[in-house]
Structure 1
Amino acid sequence: MSTSPDFWAVIPAAGVGRRMGADRPKQYLALAGRTVLEHTLEIFIRSPRITGLAVAIGGEDEYYRELTIRSDKPLLVVHGGEERCHSVLNALRALKHQAADDDWVLVHDAARPCLSDEDLTRLLDTLRDDPVGGLLAAPVADTLKRADAEGRVAQTVDRAGLWRAFTPQMFRYAMLVEAMESARQQGLLVTDEASAMELAGHAPRLVEGSPANLKITSPADLALAEFFLGRGQVS
């Protein structure tokens, strides 16, 4: 008898977040009474559909052990790598003896603490029978300009069909490992998992999600994330 696939969350959290100009990596900054990373992990810990998590932290991380994380499901902590793709691969390898080839893996940025339960559910329901998998994203609403070397407008870019890629990005365990390993062997530093799948010849599905699922990269983003959390727009 076949069994339903499990869902595993992978959180790459080894980045240093230099653009924030803070005294610590952005995933450990205070946000609405907790750290950014604690909010992010809690999204998947509280979901009854997520089997377990793997979080990749920096080799010299001094902050993770200070967190207060209570989980009734497996929570693996592994060393990350120099780039995001290396951290994801390390986390995937750590799941080797727990995740089946057909299980789903959801890779989610540590600095996206505002993923709503509604968007997570939509992603799981939309992709659970998809042959490839996909990612949360949103259509581009702004007018796009391409700049020249002097910082002047060289071209207005047609935004039709353009989407902003979010996370989680959800793919079958074995397919994702193969795609990520192939990219690594080619020396390609893919910035998201969908890119690795595209390079492997797959066409990930776009699942529309809320723009509130922002990635914190600046102090202004931190303030906006606190606003969303305070308004209860992410649960």
Structure 2
Amino acid sequence: MGKLGVIIVAAGKGSRMGTAESKQYLQLGQKPILVHTLQLFQNIHEVDEIILVVGADDVNRCEAYVTGYALTKVTRVLAGGAERQDSVRQGLQALQEGTEWVLVHDGVRPFVKIEHVFECLAKAQEVGSAVLAVPVKDTIKVVDAADKRIQSTPDRRSLWAIQTPQAFRLSLLQEAHEAALRDQFIGTDDASLVERLGAAVHVVEGDYYNIKITTPEDLPWADWILHNVRGEERS
């Protein structure tokens, strides 16, 4: 296969965490959350390079992480754009020539299982694009935003909670981003941009430990996963 690039997006301010510090820089065990995520992909042999996209004020801090934690596969630390997809697009433009496949991953998902990364990539290489996801456990309601009245109850069997990484043939994702930029379309994730092209995106089942650390309630759960399930500090 051609070169594999990874874009780690960590440009968000993380207002839902309720801390002065952005969530990706909060300590988890002995290291910032973002460093756990970067080290996970650093240690995957098949990854050729990592592009890290962060807030403009955090570029210097993250360059220090790259040096201090010997993250040799991080080739660029870029300042992100106004929207997440702007940040991803900047990352796509920075990938080395010869890159054929790309994984896009959230900087605050440090616990994705390596086997699931490979399964997602393999599915993308088979069909063009794939995303990690898990079946939803709860009953989901469609609710009117104005008066909070329930409008419908979708069949739970058809509902999946989408995670990252999301894996794509690079040329396909570039085309999707260019179309979205041209049409001024803002999607909820990269897969939604590819879906707009009419291209098939397949889900690969991950697990519920691949959490996105977003709110204060996530931190104790993340610490437990780190020490008991997936982190290098587990007992």
User: Structure 1 length normalisation: TM-score?
Assistant: 0.90
Q: How does 1:54-203 map to 2 (within 5 A)?
A: 54-61=51-58, 63-67=61-65, 68-95=68-95, 98-100=96-98, 103-128=100-125, 130-148=126-144, 149-203=146-200
Query: CA offset at residue 138 of structure 1?
Result: 1.0
Provide Cα deviations, 1:141-167, integer angstroms capped at 9, x if missing partner: 211122333334343322221111100
Provide Cα deviations, 1:120-178, integer angstroms capped at 9, x if missing partner: 122233333x2321110111221112233333434332222111110000001111111
**Deviation larger for 70-79 or 175-184:** 70-79
Question: Which consecutive unaligned segments of at least 5 residues does structure 2 have?
Answer: none
Distance 1:44 1:75 in 2: 13
AA matched with 2:37: T
Which structure shows the higher helix fraction?
2
Say if 1:212 and 1:228, in contact at 8 Å, map to a contact too.
yes
Count of residue pairs the alignment pairs up: 228
SS in 1 for 2:53: strand
SS in 2 for 1:223: helix
**Deviation larger for 60-69 or 183-192:** 60-69
User: Structure 2 length normalisation: TM-score?
Assistant: 0.90
Say if 2:123 and 2:202, in contact at 8 Å, map to a contact too.
no
Identity of aligned residues (%): 38
Question: What RMSD over aligned residues (CA atoms) do the two structures have, in Å?
Answer: 1.7
Distance 1:90 1:126 in 2: 25
Please say if 1:33 is aligned against 2:30: yes
AA matched with 2:71: S
Distance 2:94 2:160 in 1: 32
Aligned partner of 1:46 in structure 2 is: 43
AA matched with 1:28: Y
Distance 2:12 2:114 in 1: 25
Say if 1:113 and 1:213, in contact at 8 Å, map to a contact too.
yes
